[in-house]
Structure 1
Amino acid sequence: MDKSDKKCSNRSQMLNKIRELEFAAVELNLFLDNFPHNHQALADFNCVTENLMKLKRRFEMEYGPLTNFGYAQSKAPWRWVEDPWPWEIGE
C-alpha cells in the first residue's frame, strides 16, 4: 500500500466514524425527545456530539471541508472543488 492509498484509507475510516457518530447522535436525539429527563441518555448525547465535533474538525483540517455552506474555514487555495467529494469516499 503506497502513501496515497493509506491516506485514502484513513480518510474513508474517518468518514465512516463521522457517519457512525452522526447516526448515534440522531438516535439519542430521538430517544431524548421521548425521555427528556433521562440523564444517562443526555450524558451519552453530549459525549457523542463532543466527539463528533472534534472528529469533524480534525477531518476538515486534514482533508478539507465536509460542506460548503460556511460551517468550516478553508485553507488557500480553495479546496472545496478538489476530488473526491466527501460523499464519494469509500464507493
Structure 2
Amino acid sequence: MDKEQKRLLKEIMEVSFVLVETNLYLDTHPNDERALRLHNSYSHKYSELKSLYEAKYGLLTYTGMSGCPWSYINEPWPWEINFDMI
C-alpha cells in the first residue's frame, strides 16, 4: 500500500466519521439546517473520495461493482495498515 493510497483511505475514514456523527446529531435535531448542509456536503465529498479510491485501487467494500468482486480481500485489512507512515 503506497503513501497516496494510505492518505486517501485515511481521508475517507475521517469523512465517514463526520457522516456518522452528523447523522446522529440530525436524529435529534432534524430541523438544524446548518447541520444538514454540513452532512450533505460531507456526503458528497465521501462519494467523490470513494469513487476516486475505487478507480485507482479497487473496491473498498464488497457491495461495489467489479469484474472480480472479491479483489478487496487482497489488500490489508484496516487494522493492518500503519497510518504513521503517511
Q: TM-score, normalised by structure 2?
A: 0.81
Alignment partner of 1:35 out of 29, 40, 44: 29
Shift in Å at residue 81 of structure 1? Answer: 4.0
Kindly indicate whether structure 1 or structure 2 has the higher relative contact order, using CA contacts under 8 Å at least 6 residues apart.
2
Shift in Å at residue 74 of structure 1? Answer: 2.0
Q: Does 1:90 align with 2:77?
A: no
State how many pairs are aligned: 82
Report which of the two structures shows the higher radius of gyration computed on alpha carbons: 1
Give RMSD over aligned pairs. Answer: 2.0
Q: TM-score, normalised by structure 1?
A: 0.77
User: 4+ runs of 1 displaced by more than 6 Å?
Assistant: none
Matched to 2:43, the amino acid is: T
Q: Percent sequence identity over matched residues?
A: 33
Q: Does 1:45 align with 2:49?
A: no
In the TM superposition, what are the counterparts of 1:11-90 in structure 2 within 5 Å?
A: 11-68=5-62, 70=63, 72-75=64-67, 79-85=71-77, 87=78, 88-90=80-82
Flag the structure with higher helix content.
2
Long gaps (5+) in structure 1 = 1-6
Long gaps (5+) in structure 2 = none
CA distance in 1 between counterparts of 2:67 and 2:3 reads: 22
